[in-house]
Copies of this chain bind each other. A is one copy, B any other.
Amino acid sequence: MIAVHTDRLADLVALYAEYAACIDEERFDDWPGFFTEDCVYRVVPRENHEAGYPLATISLKGTAGLRDRVYGMTSTLFHAPYYQRHIVSLPRIVGNEEGAIRVEANYLVLRTKRDEPSEVFNTGRYIDRVVETGGGLRFREKLCVFDSELIPNSLIYPI
């Protein structure tokens, strides 16, 4: 078990809480701001991840890639609107590597469609590399490994 510095933990809690709030409040234009310029963002089924297959449901590179995605999700993709609600479990500092903190956290995303009850939408594990920048902690890499293959084709918004 890696020794956890309490200041670091508080900063990470703030990072993950801010990240979830940004998405759930649909401030999508702010979403790329949580990443470094050269970031990688991937959403991958657990089975593929564990088998070492490279196939990803979503794979974006750099904040430019994230901004393109935001444009797509808010302007061009046709979909019924839904709310998301992230419940992020206690974050876990797994190690340090090339100047980055490796952090993992379990997440649950609930979805609420108009006139329907809230439901379990997507659950899995964030496997992240977090770096210190002049503007605070940022994700250099964010991997969202989700448990169910049976993901609705309407995975539109960020996880």
How distant is A145 from chain B, measured CB to nearest CB, in Å?
A: 10
B17–A89 touching, CB < 8 Å: yes
CB atoms of B92 and A89 under 8 A apart = no
Q: Contact at B147–A110, with CB atoms within 8 Å?
A: yes
Interface size on A, residues (CB 8 A): 51
Instruction: Evaluate contact between B150 and A123: CB separation under 8 angstroms.
Output: no
A6 within 8 A of B: yes
Q: Within the complex, which residue of B9, B90, B114, B118 is in contact with A120, where a contact is CB–CB below 8 Å?
A: B118
| Contact partner, A87, options B13, B89, B91, Cβ 8 Å | B89
Q: Which stretch of A18-26, A36-44, A67-75 is in the interface?
A: A18-26
A7 beta carbon closer than 8 Å to chain B = yes
Q: Is A136 part of the binding interface, using a Cβ–Cβ cutoff of 8 Å?
A: yes
> A23 → chain B, closest Cβ, in Å?
11
Nearest CB in chain B: distance from A87 CB, A: 5
CB-based contact A85/B147 at 8 Å: yes
Query: Which 7 pairs show the lowest CB-CB distances between chains A and B?
Result: A17-B92, A112-B147, A17-B90, A6-B10, A112-B148, A118-B148, A87-B89
